[in-house]
Amino acid sequence: MRTQVCIIGGGPSGLLLSQLLHRAGIDTVVLERQSQDYVLARVRAGVLEWGTVEMLNEAGVGARMEKEGFVHTGTYLAARNKGFRIDFDQLIGKKVMVYGQTEVTRDLYAARASMDGVVIHGTEGVALHALDTDAPFVTFTKDGTEHRIDCDYVAGCDGFHGPSRKAIPANVLKEYERVYPFGWLGVLSHTPPVSHELIYANHERGFALCSMRNANLSRYYVQCPLTDKVEDWSDSAFWDELKRRIPEDAAETLVTGPTIEKSIAPLRSFVAEPMRWGRLFLVGDAAHIVPPTGAKGLNLAASDVHYLYHGLVQFYQGDDEGVTKYSEKALARVWKSERFSWSLTTMLHRFPNQSAFDQRMQEADLDYLESSDAAKKVLAENYVGLPF
**What gap in Å lies between CA 312 and CA 114, rounded to an integer?**
23
One domain, residues 262 and 216? yes
One domain, residues 113 and 31? yes
Let me know if residue 76 belongs to a domain. no
The active-site residue out of 22, 203, 288, 296 is 296
The active-site residue out of 247, 292, 307, 376 is 292
Q: What is the mean pLDDT of the chain?
A: 96
One domain, residues 215 and 231? yes
Let me know if residue 150 belongs to a domain. yes
One domain, residues 255 and 366? yes
Let me know if residue 83 belongs to a domain. no
Query: Is 22 labeled as catalytic in the residue annotation?
Result: no
Query: Is 309 labeled as catalytic in the residue annotation?
Result: no
pLDDT tens per residue, the chain (388 residues)?
999 999 999 999 999 999 999 999 999 999 999 998 888 887 666 899 999 999 999 999 999 999 999 999 999 999 999 999 999 999 999 999 999 889 999 999 999 999 999 999 999 999 999 999 999 999 999 999 999 999 999 999 999 999 999 999 999 999 999 999 999 999 999 999 999 999 999 999 999 999 998 888 999 999 999 999 999 999 999 999 999 999 999 999 999 999 999 999 999 999 999 999 999 999 999 999 999 998 999 999 999 999 999 999 999 999 999 999 999 999 999 999 999 999 999 999 999 999 999 999 999 999 999 999 999 999 999 999 999 9
pLDDT for res 215:
85
Let me know if residue 364 belongs to a domain. yes
One domain, residues 187 and 275? no
The active-site residue out of 12, 22, 72, 163 is 72
One domain, residues 275 and 262? no
Let me know if residue 87 belongs to a domain. no
Query: Is 67 labeled as catalytic in the residue annotation?
Result: no
Question: Which residues touch 186 (CB under 8 Å, ≥6 apart)?
Answer: 43, 219, 220, 221, 261, 262, 263, 264, 265
One domain, residues 157 and 239? no
pLDDT for res 301:
96
One domain, residues 163 and 194? no
**What gap in Å lies between CA 149 and CA 302, rounded to an integer?**
25
Let me know if residue 62 belongs to a domain. yes
Could you read off the pLDDT of 67-115 as tens digits, one per residue? Answer: 999 999 999 999 999 999 999 999 999 999 999 889 999 999 999 999 9
CATH label of the domain that carries residue 232: 3.30.9.10
pLDDT for res 45:
66
One domain, residues 220 and 187? yes
Cβ-count burial 249-285 (b if 16+ within 10 Å, e if not): ebbeebebeebeebebeebebbbbbbbbbbbbbbbbb
Length of the chain equals: 388
One domain, residues 203 and 230? yes
Let me know if residue 80 belongs to a domain. no
Query: Is 292 labeled as catalytic in the residue annotation?
Result: yes
CATH label of the domain that carries residue 29: 3.50.50.60
Query: Is 200 labeled as catalytic in the residue annotation?
Result: yes
Range of the domain at 32: 5-70+97-177+268-343
One domain, residues 108 and 41? yes
DSSP 30-78: EEESS-HHHHHT-----EEEHHHHHHHHHTT--HHHHHH-EEESEEEEE
Could you read off the pLDDT of 169-200 as tens digits, one per residue? Answer: 999 999 999 999 999 999 999 999 999 999 99
State how many domains the chain has: 2
One domain, residues 187 and 60? no
Which of 282, 321, 325 has the alpha carbon at shortest distance from 300? 282
What's the Rg (C-alpha) of the chain?
21
Could you read off the pLDDT of 36-58 as tens digits, one per residue? Answer: 888 888 766 689 999 999 999 99
Let me know if residue 51 belongs to a domain. yes
The active-site residue out of 180, 200, 221, 309 is 200
